[in-house]
Structure 1
Amino acid sequence: MLLLLLLTNAFVLLPWAGAGRITGGKEAVAHSRPYMAFLKIKNATNTRRCGGFLIRPDAVLSAAHCVDMKGSVSVTVILGAHNVSRPEQSQQKIPVVKKFIHPEYSGNGGKNDIMLLKLKKKAEINEYVRNISFAKENEHVRAGDLCTVSGWGRTSLDPPPSDVLMEVELKVQKAKICQQVFSNYQPQTMICVGDENRKKSTRRGDSGGPLVCNKKAYGIVSRGKKLRFFPEVFTRISHFEPWIREKLRSFAIQDIPGSPSSK
């Protein structure tokens, strides 16, 4: 029987910004999820952590609320990590040079909670670091589908976050379940996920991590409700695929010396 594992603090009706917990999960096999990205996010006064995932050697997807902080925010991505408390030889630490936050993102209700990060250099693809495919505009998960979420977060309510990558299996739920709990739940842009028995869940530190179904990313950990493990809201990636593709195409233009976006 799996031990009860918790990855953050009790969370509120706001997006989960920076810590996280997985209830009823387990430690992931080291480097079994080579697409996972550990995000170190800093402003002048605070540091927080979030999850993310590599979709191209130069691009990471995450949740917009992860950088919803006052003042200038810097992000460093660590790829190839299992234990983030030590400098593993497998790790690649790469600064983010550009943050693309969805223009219609709103911290009020977590609408359009998605962000694309451009890395300063391309990641070296190897056995520890690989990108993951993400859902296209016409690809959807259905209620009852089993998916996996991974992240680094607290293993109980109060202690420090987990050093090692944790994972939990969760079920896609019918939209009406989240509509009963979240007044601003939008089925076209969000996925309702969770364990109806309330034995398994994610929380704030797993924000930005992927909901992986059949080896493809379909959702992004977004938000939940205070003191309630079920249900949870994930950003629906398929809805945002055109926006993601548009931003990825802009990467090459920005790299051209003298281009307006390179200045």
Structure 2
Amino acid sequence: MNVTLGAHDINKKENTQQVIPVLQAIRHENFNTETFTNDVMLLKLKYKAQLHAYVDTIALPHSEDWGDAGGPLVCNNVSQGMVSYGHVDGKPPQVFTRISSFVPWIKRTIKQFEHR
């Protein structure tokens, strides 16, 4: 699994893109495949992204410490939601997972996996 950062169109190679292999995918321990509750996963990358105008971190709600891993719903430069599912073409409705509900899990999981 790879993560593509800094892409405007993932179907085209752009100078701003970074493709980074995923070292470890960490799914929420209470994810339910039938109801999709706790539909959140953290991806530990093989190496750090190079930050620039097209790749940057974003604050989580009530947190200034961590970057965002994907498709955010942003309000006042804080990621409030991440895409859970929706139409492939991006047309409404899009369903977002409320990040603030998972901040304790995110912090606990990152701390746990930092030492591995």
Q: Structure 1's 223 and 109: CA in aligned 2 closer, same or farther, altered over 3 A?
A: farther
Structural mapping, 1:85-104, within 5 Å = 85-104=11-30
The residue that corresponds to 1:155 in the other structure is none
Per-residue CA deviations over 1:130-157 (Å, capped at 9, x if unaligned) read: 01111138xxxxxxxxxxxxxxxxxxxx
2:47 pairs with 1:121: yes
Residue 75 (structure 2) aligned to one of 205, 213, 238: 213
Q: Structure 1's 230 and 129: CA in aligned 2 closer, same or farther, altered over 3 A?
A: closer
The residue that corresponds to 1:11 in the other structure is none
- Indicate if the aligned counterparts of 1:110 and 1:222 stay in contact, CA closer than 8 A: no
CA RMSD of aligned residues (A): 2.3
Q: Shift of the alpha carbon at 1:232?
A: 5.2
TM, length-normalised to structure 2: 0.80
Residue 107 (structure 1) aligned to one of 33, 38, 55: 33
Q: Which has the higher contact order (CA 8 A, sep 6+)?
A: 1
The residue that corresponds to 1:246 in the other structure is 108
Unaligned runs of at least 5 residues, structure 2: 64-69
The residue that corresponds to 1:260 in the other structure is none
TM, length-normalised to structure 1: 0.37
Determine the C-alpha separation between the residues in 2 that align with 1:111 and 1:85: 31
Q: Shift of the alpha carbon at 1:90?
A: 1.2
- Indicate if the aligned counterparts of 1:105 and 1:111 stay in contact, CA closer than 8 A: yes
The residue that corresponds to 2:67 in the other structure is none
The residue that corresponds to 2:84 in the other structure is 222
Question: Runs (4+) of structure 1 moved beyond 3 Å?
Answer: 229-233
Per-residue CA deviations over 1:32-56 (Å, capped at 9, x if unaligned) read: xxxxxxxxxxxxxxxxxxxxxxxxx
Q: Shift of the alpha carbon at 1:230?
A: 7.0
Q: What amino acid does structure 2 have at the position aligned with 1:83?
A: D
- Indicate if the aligned counterparts of 1:110 and 1:223 stay in contact, CA closer than 8 A: no
Percent identity over the alignment is 45
The residue that corresponds to 1:132 in the other structure is 58
Task: Choose 1 or 2 for highest CA Rg.
Answer: 1
Q: Structure 1's 120 and 230: CA in aligned 2 closer, same or farther, altered over 3 A?
A: closer
Q: Shift of the alpha carbon at 1:211?
A: 1.4
